[in-house]
C-alpha cells in the first residue's frame, strides 16, 4: 500500500488509511502543501480505531466527531440523512459485502471537507443531494485538505465534486451524474 508518490500512483489505494498519529500528527514529507509529491510510504494500521455506523454510532457525523485523526469509519448499508463536515484525517468506507450506504442531504452539500494538512478518504458510498436550489449545494466540497473519492456514486447537486481555495481531490472509479452544472469543478488554487 502507498500514500502518494512521484510514481503516478494515487494516494490511499489500499484498504487502510495512514494513521497519522503514528507520524506525530503529520504525514511524511513536507506535508500537504503538495500531497501529490509525497514520497511513497507504507500505510500504517497500528493504533488506528475502527468506528462502526450504526452499531456503535447512530450517524456518520457522530462517528466523525468521536474519531481521532487516522481512524476508519465503517458504514453499514442504509440511508443516512445528514450533512458530513470533515475536518480531520479519516477514512469513511462502506462495510464490505453489503449494499452501498446512501448519504442523503436536503438542500445542502452532502460532504464538506475543510482542514489544512488533512487527508480524507471516501470509499464505496453513494452521496445524493435531494433538493438542489442554489449554487452552493454540492455532492462533495473541499475547501482545504486532500480528499480521495473512490468507488463512490455522487448524484445531484449543483456540482458533483467542487474543489476550491487550497482544496485538492482525486476521483477514482466514481460515477457522477444528474448535476445542475459540472460533474467536477475546481477554482482558485485547487488541484484535481
Hey, which residues does 91 pair with through a beta bridge? 72, 121
**What confidence score (pLDDT) does residue 158 get?**
86
CA atoms within 13 A on the CB side of 151: 15
Q: How far apart are CA 103 and CA 118, in angstroms?
A: 22
**What confidence score (pLDDT) does residue 69 get?**
92
Q: How far apart are CA 115 and CA 144, in angstroms?
A: 5
CA atoms within 13 A on the CB side of 130: 11
**What confidence score (pLDDT) does residue 62 get?**
98
**What confidence score (pLDDT) does residue 161 get?**
95
**What confidence score (pLDDT) does residue 38 get?**
39
pTM (2 decimals)? Answer: 0.78
**CA nearest 74: which of 32, 121, 19, 25?**
121
C-alpha cell at 27: 504525514
The per-residue DSSP string of 171-185 comes to EES-EEE--SSEEEE
Q: How far apart are CA 132 and CA 115, in angstroms?
A: 25
**What confidence score (pLDDT) does residue 132 get?**
67
C-alpha cell at 91: 477514512
**What confidence score (pLDDT) does residue 126 get?**
97
**CA nearest 89: which of 133, 144, 126, 161?**
144
Q: How far apart are CA 169 and CA 192, in angstroms?
A: 5
Which residues, other chains included, contact 135 with Cβ-Cβ below 8 Å and sequence gap of 6+?
158, 181
**What confidence score (pLDDT) does residue 32 get?**
42
**What confidence score (pLDDT) does residue 43 get?**
37
**What confidence score (pLDDT) does residue 131 get?**
74
Hey, which residues does 51 pair with through a beta bridge? 73
Residue 38: exposed, middle, or buried by beta-carbon count in 10 A (0-12, 13-18, 19+)? buried
**What confidence score (pLDDT) does residue 135 get?**
63
Each of the 192 residues of the chain gets a pLDDT tens digit; together they read 333 333 333 333 333 333 333 333 443 333 344 444 433 333 344 568 999 999 999 999 999 999 999 999 999 999 999 999 999 999 999 999 989 999 999 868 999 999 988 999 999 999 999 876 666 788 999 999 999 999 999 998 889 999 999 999 999 999 999 988 889 999 998 888
Amino acid at each position: 500500500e502507498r500514500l502518494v508518490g512521484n510514481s503516478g500512483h494515487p494516494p490511499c489505494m489500499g484498504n487502510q488509511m495512514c494513521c497519522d498519529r503514528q507520524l506525530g500528527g503529520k504525514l511524511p514529507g513536507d506535508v500537504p502543501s503538495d500531497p501529490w509529491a509525497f514520497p511513497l510510504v507504507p500505510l500504517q494500521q497500528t493504533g488506528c480505531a475502527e468506528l462502526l455506523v450504526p452499531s456503535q454510532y447512530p450517524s456518520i457525523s457522530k462517528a466523525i466527531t468521536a474519531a481521532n485523526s487516522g481512524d476508519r469509519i465503517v458504514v453499514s448499508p442504509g440511508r443516512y440523512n445528514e450533512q458530513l463536515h470533515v475536518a480531520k484525517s479519516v477514512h469513511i468506507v462502506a462495510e464490505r459485502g453489503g449494499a452501498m450506504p446512501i448519504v442523503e442531504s436536503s438542500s445542502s452539500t452532502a460532504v464538506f471537507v475543510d482542514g489544512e494538512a488533512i487527508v480524507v478518504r471516501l470509499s464505496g458510498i453513494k452521496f445524493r443531494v435531494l433538493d438542489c436550489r442554489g449554487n452552493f449545494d454540492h455532492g462533495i466540497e473541499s475547501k482545504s485538505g486532500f480528499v480521495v473519492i473512490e468507488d463512490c456514486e455522487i448524484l445531484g447537486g449543483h456540482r458533483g465534486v467542487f474543489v476550491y481555495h487550497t482544496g485538492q481531490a482525486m476521483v477514482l472509479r466514481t460515477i457522477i451524474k444528474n448535476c445542475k452544472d459540472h460533474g467536477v469543478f475546481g477554482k482558485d488554487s485547487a488541484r484535481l
